[in-house]
Amino acid sequence: MLAKKEKSHREWCKVVGHVNWYLTRDETQVKDIVLTLNYDNLPSRLKPCFLYLGLFPKDFEIPVTPLLQKWVAEGFIQDTGNRDPDDVAKDYFYELIDRSLVQVTKVKFIGDLRKCQVHDLLRDLCISETKEEKVFDVCTDNNILIPTKPRSLSIHGDMGHYISSSNNDHSCMRSLFFFGPEYYVQRRGWKWLLDDFKLVRVLEFGHNRCLEIPSNLGNFIHLRYLRINSTLATFVPNSILGLWNLQTIDLGILEYDSPISFPIQMWKLKHLRHLNTSRPIKLRGRYSESNEKMWNLQTISPLILNTEATSLIKKGTFPNIKRMGLYLETDGYEGELPNLFQNLQQLKHLNTLMIYNVLNLLTFEVIFPPSITELWLSRIKCITDEGMNGLKNHSKIKILRLLGVEWSENSIDLNCVDGSFPQLEVLEMKHLSLRKFKLGNGAMQRLQNVIIQDCQYLYHLLVEFQSLNGLRKIEITETPLEQLDYFLQILERYHGVQVVRGYYPKMSVIGF
């Protein structure tokens, strides 16, 4: 708080006066006063962002990216000029960190923030500050019968119990969160939501699961942020195209690989910025000659490359996409792929590309967009020297994830020629059998972190890694280590590499 004060004699005289006054109070009072002062001294732009943290349960690890997307959807991020609202929201978040109002609990390898928490005392401050102005309310099983009419409601009890017990007026509600135990939302739950929350902008289902998505979902005409766990749902209705204000659609982390169907006229969602799901998205509907662009779309993943999706990519429907996932179907598109990847070259802002079901794609040279800094390739069956030549030409790649096919008996050779992957910092490998691994002169010279899970025949890889002066950390799990431990100890003792060993199965014979 003091770090943000004006460096003037007058301001610091005030600080001395406040300190002297605090010394006459008891410890509890001082804590409350200091916390309140810290909040009172926040710039007005940060206050709603900070108070928002009180909506989450005690000790809850808050995913950072969805939090920032909610801030944008709530309208907290104003006067951005030409800057992206998500980038401005990130700046706001860092300001809260600098003021010790939020604590980062998980960080990605390249420094991106993953999860955060707010201290119990600060959370209590958020709740007390908002109760007076009825900004939001946190409902538990203990206060479910107390009448309330806040702008935002966070339900920390069972959703079914709240529906049957509460008589609150929800007509003015703008945001609704569920953080209770898992509940299956069926017709009764959806009817309650659609009838009572007509003005809702942010709808967060938490752990609750949806067996189906109702055809009248389009009645939420003010909705900007939607996150649901559509566990068994396989169909997103056309009515979603009427939600013109939607910025984020998150269909949750799902347990099944079956595709979820989405209307091809997605370009009607003019304000859509993020479309995410862990299941493949299969576009449906008639191909249109329209050349409409989704100027605001930044994230889509993963998109099945059927005729409908291919047509949108070729027409340049996603000109400002930053993060894209593509799911290759097993038949029918092998001949189209080189031309399709050529179309990706027009995506000048694309920095993260995830390709699922790669199989034999890396048996020929693939030209990815030159702007790529993070590349995921999953379900790899085979990699040839020609395929590696295609990868090595992408000089900006900082993160490379190579994921094989679980239980596959195929072995692969990785030959990284001289000077390849000059910017690579993170390498992840999973479900791969490496028959041979070769680093040419100057290859992977910036590599710092390696994650290995369920890989076989790692002898050559560990020997080659001894030439990397910048290597800092290797995480190796679910991999037989008995005869590899000698090489890991060399990396630890003589090269200063931190080695994290996880669970691995005992095996009697280890191949190299």
Of the candidates 116, 143, 2, the residue with the CA atom closest to the CA atom of residue 49? 116
Q: Quick one: pLDDT at residue 55? A: 96
Strand order in the sheet with 62-63: 62-63, 113-117, 103-107
Q: Quick one: pLDDT at residue 23? A: 47
Q: Which of 14-23, 101-110, 285-294 is the least confident region?
A: 14-23
Q: Quick one: pLDDT at residue 506? A: 41
Burial 74-106 (b: 16+ CB within 10 A, else e): bebbeeeeeebbbebbbebbebbeebebbeeee
Contact present, 267 and 300 (Cβ < 8 Å): no
Cis bond upstream, residue 302 (ω within 30): yes
Q: Quick one: pLDDT at residue 257? A: 72
The whole-number average pLDDT for the span 47-75 is 96
Contact present, 229 and 207 (Cβ < 8 Å): yes
CATH of 371-512, one of 3.80.10, 1.10.10, 2.60.40, 3.40.50: 3.80.10
Beta strands (DSSP E) in 211-286 are 225-229, 248-250, 260-263, 274-284
Q: Which of 25-29, 231-235, 402-406, 408-412 is the least confident region?
A: 25-29
At which residue do the structure tokens 């994290």 appear? 500
DSSP tag of 332: S
Say yes or no to pLDDT of 150 above 70: yes
For the chain, which residues make up each domain, given as ranges? 16-122, 371-512
Q: CA–CA separation, 237 vs 217, rounded Å? A: 8
The whole-number average pLDDT for the span 324-345 is 78
Contact present, 156 and 57 (Cβ < 8 Å): yes
Q: CA–CA separation, 86 vs 247, rounded Å? A: 11
Q: Quick one: pLDDT at residue 488? A: 92
Using one digit for the tens of pLDDT, what is the confidence trace for 442-498?
A: 999 999 999 999 998 888 899 999 999 999 999 999 887 777 888 899 999 999 999
Q: How high does pLDDT run on average in the chain? A: 87
Residue 422, classed as helix, strand or coil, is: coil
Query: How would you write 75-143 as a 3-class SS string?
Result: CCCCCCCCCCHHHHHHHHHHHHHHCCCCEEEEECCCCCEEEEECCHHHHHHHHHHHHHHCCEEEECCCC
Contact present, 353 and 373 (Cβ < 8 Å): no
Q: What is the amino acid identity at position 6?
A: E
Q: Quick one: pLDDT at residue 34? A: 59
CA dist list (Å): 451 to 59, 193, 502: 28, 43, 11
Residue 177, classed as helix, strand or coil, is: strand
354 has which bridge partners? 325, 376
Q: CA–CA separation, 494 vs 489, rounded Å? A: 8
Q: Quick one: pLDDT at residue 367? A: 85
The whole-number average pLDDT for the span 23-32 is 51
16-122 folds as: Arc Repressor Mutant, subunit A (1.10.10)
Confidence at 341, pLDDT banded by 50, 70, 90 = confident
Say yes or no to pLDDT of 434 above 50: yes
The whole-number average pLDDT for the span 299-307 is 91
Q: CA–CA separation, 84 vs 93, rounded Å? A: 15
Contact present, 155 and 172 (Cβ < 8 Å): no
Q: Quick one: pLDDT at residue 3? A: 53
Say yes or no to pLDDT of 134 above 50: yes
Longest CA span, the chain: 79
Confidence at 411, pLDDT banded by 50, 70, 90 = confident
Q: What is the amino acid identity at position 309?
A: A
This prediction's pTM: 0.89
Using one digit for the tens of pLDDT, what is the confidence trace for 93-116?
A: 999 999 999 999 999 877 789 999
Q: Quick one: pLDDT at residue 507? A: 36
Using one digit for the tens of pLDDT, what is the confidence trace for 219-262?
A: 999 999 999 987 778 899 999 999 999 999 999 876 567 899 99
Q: Quick one: pLDDT at residue 503? A: 61
